[in-house]
Structure 1
């Protein structure tokens, strides 16, 4: 029996992106199935948000409660070391190949974690498909977060055609290869040799011929003689702010820097930003990282004192 619920009508071409964004914001009502309606898709929402209307939806059949987990391609990362729950999770999703449990936090200069295999194939490697792009990932060798897929699309939408882009902490290439769809040139740098090896593979996999991989410490990039960049990505949440002065030096006047950082209070890194540029700054919460800590992004317009 159909039930009436608040929903948003979105164009079909935007439906998947809007669905992901609503899911990240906690507004997608997962009790009901999205419903196509002509050239639009009706997405059920949990409350009366702007633009919402009442429509009837088919309820999603109740399923056995699954353990908390994060999906990365064909791998599920559980938050608890529970092999029985892992086997149940593996059986619930035909696309899953492996269930892992992190035995360590993200650590070291290469931002890696150690994992135990709780169920399925004994591997930490998988392929992630994101907005038509494909990324081969090895979670034990290089950090990757599928949760930033919507954020990557947001930055792409705000870009101009032909921009010169620098990704200072590129990892296996999700930001660099996504932004290559509009950029004239992307320099994708990382300190981790295993990450750069996968980055080179992913560049070829996606035919991103305008992405140049660089094995380098971000703090030394200003020594390589690059022309100023239009846009710089700084996605190293635990340490990116310490490289901000280098990024400003590499960015053209009027260019943009997207600084991703973990913080415990709103505006925590504004004083550090103001110490190196006077340009406009917009702060956004990306997601909750842990109790009392948030993953935030500062969108910075660079204004240089000597310009």
Structure 2
């Protein structure tokens, strides 16, 4: 048989080559397709009209195939199924046990995986011994099985449809009812078919979208097109036990940052204060507030600001979160500057979160000379967690050097750098954490202070490129 049939039946191939990556209630997958020979006497292949199909015709995939079967007495059926667990069929919608062809009520047919079993000698010693002990004859029968589109997995359909020799690896991130894809150029002619297959094969997905450009707007949302399903972009997700709602087409959300959100929130203590400079819809701010943290949360995007307030109400933490709709520097040089003197006099910690990886390091200069030198103190200084992308061979060193340059003060041996995730083969997302140096916060350099103050004016309307082309 052709390798297509092996993908019909091989539980081993499916289990070992289909990698699920859970992210709370969201997930993504990658499917790989190495060539695998299959043992059998008949050839099976999809009809010619399947290859190159751009409009999904589910009926074309229906075929009759022959698989091996074992005739088993009904009284020992459960024991035999358990003993031959690795050799039976494991495939979507395919029963392992069917009625006996001789219509005997005393027997059932146990369907076997043709990738593993082609003759009685294919059974392992343990399986053969089990069959002997249960009085089951090791004689195989042919069973005609009707396979349909419903029995195929996503990657099996795509491999049958896309041109031979082309990479059919596909992936998506799930955001509530939305499957978010980043299709490659050779997949675009089949984009609507791919979207429909994704929706068919993933219960609960009612909308499939494709990112059609990089994140290149001031508000960090990207353009997308609907490939299949309803055009409803308002979605609900749950991350680390916290519920969020937002319009996915107008705000930034990345399901793969769930672990990082949790990591930072766990660093905080009840009674601390968080200053979230680029808060988005609240993935740091809301769980922090739920943990008894006081939060000042800011985002320049009016839609993110609106959904941030909505999520605070949704999670009943409105009293713990003060929200702002300002540019990042204006937030630092305004509300943060006003609140810091009193906060630093208290015993509780102060944490500044700056999660705008493409640009956040450039905003660190806003802390230069932020407070009056006459109010200088060296205790309870703010701890900054600043994110960035790095394409350097040594991303840790790169992050420290860029943060030091922006602050005008060396952070060598005064900070820690945490690897967050690999965004693309040559780009990492990192987080540099450090206690804001007294020499920066209380700088008396008037020229530096005037320069920094001059940078907080609202930026002209222009696009800020946040290159995340591989960021699903």
Deviations 1:196-253 (A, max 9, x none): 1111111111111201110111111212343226001111011111111325748985
Q: Does 1:258 align with 2:258?
A: no
For the residues of structure 2 that align with 1:88 and 1:183, how far apart are their CA atoms? 44
1:179 aligned residue (263, 288, 299): 288
Cross-structure match for 1:163: 272
Compute the displacement of 1:287 (Å).
Answer: 1.2
Compute the displacement of 1:104 (Å).
Answer: 1.8
Cross-structure match for 1:9: none
Cross-structure match for 1:290: 424
Deviations 1:47-88 (A, max 9, x none): xxxxxxxxxxx99x5662443111112211112142212111
Q: Which moved more, 1:153-162 or 1:218-227?
A: 218-227
For the residues of structure 1 that align with 2:223 and 2:379, how far apart are their CA atoms? 39
For the residues of structure 2 that align with 1:83 and 1:19, how far apart are their CA atoms? 25
The structure whose Rg is larger is 2
Distance 1:88 1:129, change over 3 A: same
Distance 1:145 1:20, change over 3 A: closer
Cross-structure match for 1:227: 339
Cross-structure match for 1:123: 232
For the residues of structure 2 that align with 1:137 and 1:284, how far apart are their CA atoms? 29
Q: Does 1:211 align with 2:330?
A: no
Cross-structure match for 1:68: 171
Runs of 4+ in 1 over 6 A off after TM superposition: none
SS of residue paired to 1:268 = helix
Q: Does 1:96 align with 2:205?
A: yes
For the residues of structure 2 that align with 1:120 and 1:199, how far apart are their CA atoms? 27
Greater share of residues in strand:
1
For the residues of structure 1 that align with 2:309 and 2:330, how far apart are their CA atoms? 21
* Structure 2 residues not aligned, in runs of 5+: 1-11, 13-20, 30-84, 93-152, 156-169, 344-349, 372-377, 444-472
For the residues of structure 1 that align with 2:430 and 2:382, how far apart are their CA atoms? 20
For the residues of structure 1 that align with 2:213 and 2:272, how far apart are their CA atoms? 38
Q: Does 1:300 align with 2:434?
A: yes
Compute the displacement of 1:168 (Å).
Answer: 0.4
TM-score (norm 2): 0.50
1:86 aligned residue (185, 195, 216): 195
Cross-structure match for 1:272: 402
Compute the displacement of 1:134 (Å).
Answer: 1.0
TM-score (norm 1): 0.75
Compute the displacement of 1:270 (Å).
Answer: 1.0
Greater share of residues in helix:
2
Aligned Cα root-mean-square deviation (Å) = 3.0
SS of residue paired to 1:91 = helix
Distance 1:298 1:183, change over 3 A: farther
Cross-structure match for 2:448: none
Q: Is the 8 A contact 1:231 1:255 kept in 2?
A: yes
* Structure 1 residues not aligned, in runs of 5+: 4-17, 27-57
Cross-structure match for 1:44: none
Q: How does 1:178-197 map to 2 (within 5 A)?
A: 178-197=287-306
What is the number of equivalent residue pairs in this alignment?
258
Using CA pairs under 8 Å that are at least 6 residues apart, name the structure with larger relative contact order, 1 or 2.
Answer: 2
Cross-structure match for 2:33: none
Deviations 1:253-286 (A, max 9, x none): 5432111111111121212323435473111221
Q: Does 1:147 align with 2:147?
A: no
Cross-structure match for 1:42: none
Q: Which moved more, 1:295-304 or 1:207-216?
A: 295-304
Q: Is the 8 A contact 1:280 1:302 kept in 2?
A: no
Q: Is the 8 A contact 1:165 1:183 kept in 2?
A: no
For the residues of structure 1 that align with 2:419 and 2:192, how far apart are their CA atoms? 34
SS of residue paired to 1:207 = coil
SS of residue paired to 1:227 = helix
Cross-structure match for 1:237: 357
Cross-structure match for 1:29: none
Compute the displacement of 1:109 (Å).
Answer: 0.9
For the residues of structure 1 that align with 2:22 and 2:237, how far apart are their CA atoms? 18
